[in-house]
Structure 1
């Protein structure tokens, strides 16, 4: 199966052009074999470069165009791409020559990429450890097909680029609409941009994919689902959406015969793992749904046993054709094959109900200790009535929160957890630092401890 359905079309919001000629082999004229780095702004040309690489069987790493120059150079040094495309600094990296608005490697890499390798994505946006997730063509297409089935995407659907394409969720929205022969509007202003909402109405956008921080934006924007008659599907992934917002947006969409889908994913699964059917959201509050078609969930308990029995909390395991080949930290890793055999150990705690629906209970590594008591930092965030993020300190928990009375908030948290207030420090912030994918940048917060 190909990524590009002949009926798929990309709409340039800036010009109104409907683009179907997305395979452009000339993009890679003069580029030697090997992995290509694509700094991917939200443009039609970037989509064409990605689709061309995929259809020609060229492995491509999708990178944030806002990467700092030193970070880009570190990635290049580690992974030795055959070429780097997209917005580039004036001076090529060492060992590269400028050619047609690209940097081309002057000598071949020591190892060739594995033939199954199709896409590489960074695990932590534009910051953090430069580790790449290796995804195969099979994994990407399997996940796209699963989501097309789970959401009922057809050729009549129109999505819009509310998320960057180098982020796995944004890439997934692009992939699913290409596979389904649907349309995707490319608009680079985002929810707060002047042209975004006019584009939704002008091109009759039918679905909108957002992360939790963007749902907070919708609340501030006083989003009215009835004001956009064609927009009848909202999807949410990229982190936990507060339960009150799940209920609110479910009610808003139901009132106009629309749908809200809550999903759970990881880049390592290309990227979506579960989808909660919109018509079951009301009876399954807090769930992220069953595994996507073709996938299977189980729970690994503390003693190492694996189970699908209901209500037993442990580490979430997922099996399916969309699981990554593995990670890459150097160019040599790009030649590796499948390290995981279709098994993803998610690092998340969760439990299943009797219907196989998954409920998440936190991250294994997201814990702190206060006076020797082990606390789930995700649970602490859920307890707070305001947008907040918790990180572990030295025998205390530090909470960054958008609040006016941090002392009172800290005392209330300590009272609820039945621990002394001195184990909690609440620091007021106007806004939480976010990664380009909209998730909280915990690394930046930990640096502020």
Structure 2
């Protein structure tokens, strides 16, 4: 598929659903597909074509409408959290030199003298730099793999990646124009963005809110707008259990989806059985930003029986397992690195504007870094990781990068943990330092302090060559915990 045909697919879908609402807010604001398609004047749309645009938006109508318009006019958005601190934003501006920035009007003061070339609701588009570098013809979108840390490493996604994955998701979820998803995940996060993409192609209406499950207004809006689905990471479902979600009467809900890390099988089974009892569907899914969003799903009719499984590859994709030498592993119950092939596999990474000219380096194949096993039915189970990553509320965190951040701040530490829990071990420290590091990392990673556990006044286990033995790090052996 060429870039042009993919753009035509996107704009064609918007034109087909022109009269339908694309977004509806809690205040009753409605934006149609037609309005988003024609947001900017034609001359500005031409200026935006093939230009890198930093897109700082959250779940509100202005930000999301602007994002979709950027896609429709063939701009290249680089997605960032609307509240990304300026000290983390500036290094990214230096590294990527975007031609434009789409941001909340409240942040204009950070760019003194900047010219606003377009205004829509509470957002502004400002011209930033002359784009004197090349952008590859197929490049469509840049997404971070590491949440809101300000890391310069982004995944390069093509139009083919974005639309093939959105189409596959719409197919296995059987989406149509009657669907009304409600926003629960940030648009700078690949899972949250994929929900928007797949439902927009299907002609659905997105219920837009920044409220969380903990706010009464979220549930009132969900019922008022008759939301039919929402997605969440494991942490969300843990919170839903505490909120006694299964006792709520929400007749409009038809589908729940879960991705963003491994969820405890017993919790998956609990929600799957609840959905079965209410005539709803529960889908467990698996994905990485490097594959645009999702690589697999567990069919709803298997959700309770195979809780803990990631299922099989999405339409158009394929999985296999490899041993440490790259040989394919056949048969049931074998364990090896999970490898995925499909049209949604990204082009590669970027660390700055020079990388935007690079072509497809992956050729449709992604070695996930996850160790998996395959059962006799062809469904897969993740059993471990080859590298040092974990997921905090759906965002993949590179533990080596966190250690380097602490070292730069003057703290020698080792990081470990599991999904939704970061453990930090500081051998030379006291209770005051442990608390300081906990708060510092919560801000840096934009997560709740409860998800960061800091241990101090202990010894880092090392082997004969002095390397830290991460598998031997346990909180019980450390004197101070915060």
Equivalenced residue count is 399
Please report how far the alpha carbon of residue 149 of structure 1 lies from its aligned counterpart in structure 2 after TM superposition. Answer: 1.1
Task: Tell whether 2:219 aligns with 1:197.
Answer: yes
Task: Tell whether 2:28 aligns with 1:16.
Answer: yes
Point out where structure 1 has 5 or more consecutive residues left out of the alignment.
369-376, 407-417, 430-449
Mapped contact 1:310–1:354 kept (Cα < 8 A): yes
Task: Tell whether 2:52 aligns with 1:35.
Answer: yes
- Normalising by structure 2, we get a TM-score of 0.76
Please give the per-residue CA displacement for 1:60-116, whole angstroms capped at 9, x wherever unaligned.
11110111102111111111111011123414289x64544333134x233221111
Mapped contact 1:308–1:352 kept (Cα < 8 A): no
Structure-1 separation of matches of 2:127 and 2:42: 10
Mapped contact 1:37–1:85 kept (Cα < 8 A): yes
**What residue in structure 1 maps to residue 268 of structure 2?**
246
Structure-1 separation of matches of 2:66 and 2:450: 41
Which of the numbers 93, 97, 102 marks the counterpart of 2:125? 102
**What residue in structure 2 maps to residue 63 of structure 1?**
80
Q: SS state of the match for residue 70, structure 2?
A: helix
Mapped contact 2:298–2:312 kept (Cα < 8 A): yes
**What residue in structure 2 maps to residue 439 of structure 1?**
none
Mapped contact 1:85–1:102 kept (Cα < 8 A): yes
Please give the per-residue CA displacement for 1:340-399, whole angstroms capped at 9, x wherever unaligned.
10011111111112222111012112399xxxxxxxx77xx59xxxx85456788xxx9x
**What residue in structure 1 maps to residue 148 of structure 2?**
126
Q: 1:84 to 1:246 in 2, by over 3 A?
A: same
Higher mean C-alpha deviation, range 59-68 or range 281-290: 281-290
Task: Tell whether 2:137 aligns with 1:90.
Answer: no
Which of the numbers 297, 310, 314 marks the counterpart of 1:288? 310
Mapped contact 2:22–2:203 kept (Cα < 8 A): no
Q: SS state of the match for residue 272, structure 1?
A: coil
Equivalent residue runs for 1:404-423 within 5 Å: none
**What residue in structure 1 maps to residue 133 of structure 2?**
111
Q: SS state of the match for residue 10, structure 2?
A: coil
Please report how far the alpha carbon of residue 284 of structure 1 lies from its aligned counterpart in structure 2 after TM superposition. Answer: 1.9
Structure-1 separation of matches of 2:479 and 2:84: 31
Task: Tell whether 2:360 aligns with 1:331.
Answer: no
Structure-2 separation of matches of 1:304 and 1:61: 34
Please give the per-residue CA displacement for 1:300-330, whole angstroms capped at 9, x wherever unaligned.
2112212343222111110000011111101
Task: Tell whether 2:195 aligns with 1:173.
Answer: yes
Which of the numbers 96, 100, 103 marks the counterpart of 1:79? 96
Please report how far the alpha carbon of residue 264 of structure 1 lies from its aligned counterpart in structure 2 after TM superposition. Answer: 0.5
Please report how far the alpha carbon of residue 283 of structure 1 lies from its aligned counterpart in structure 2 after TM superposition. Answer: 2.7
Q: 1:92 to 1:342 in 2, by over 3 A?
A: same
Q: 1:35 to 1:313 in 2, by over 3 A?
A: same
Mapped contact 2:92–2:150 kept (Cα < 8 A): no
Which of the numbers 3, 7, 10 marks the counterpart of 1:2? 10
Task: Tell whether 2:153 aligns with 1:145.
Answer: no
Higher mean C-alpha deviation, range 19-28 or range 181-190: 19-28
Q: 1:159 to 1:401 in 2, by over 3 A?
A: closer
**What residue in structure 1 maps to residue 204 of structure 2?**
182
Structure-2 separation of matches of 1:317 and 1:199: 41
Q: 1:208 to 1:309 in 2, by over 3 A?
A: same
Higher mean C-alpha deviation, range 96-105 or range 317-326: 96-105
Which structure has more helix as a fraction of its residues? Answer: 2
Point out where structure 2 has 5 or more consecutive residues left out of the alignment.
1-8, 119-123, 390-398, 400-415, 428-433, 435-448, 456-470
Q: SS state of the match for residue 224, structure 1?
A: helix
Task: Tell whether 2:68 aligns with 1:45.
Answer: no
- Normalising by structure 1, we get a TM-score of 0.81
Q: 1:388 to 1:25 in 2, by over 3 A?
A: closer
Structure-1 separation of matches of 2:289 and 2:58: 19
Q: SS state of the match for residue 228, structure 1?
A: coil
Measured on the aligned residues, the alpha-carbon RMSD in Å equals 3.1
**What residue in structure 2 maps to residue 344 of structure 1?**
366
Q: SS state of the match for residue 90, structure 1?
A: helix
Structure-2 separation of matches of 1:426 and 1:240: 30
Please give the per-residue CA displacement for 1:127-152, whole angstroms capped at 9, x wherever unaligned.
15221111111111111111111111
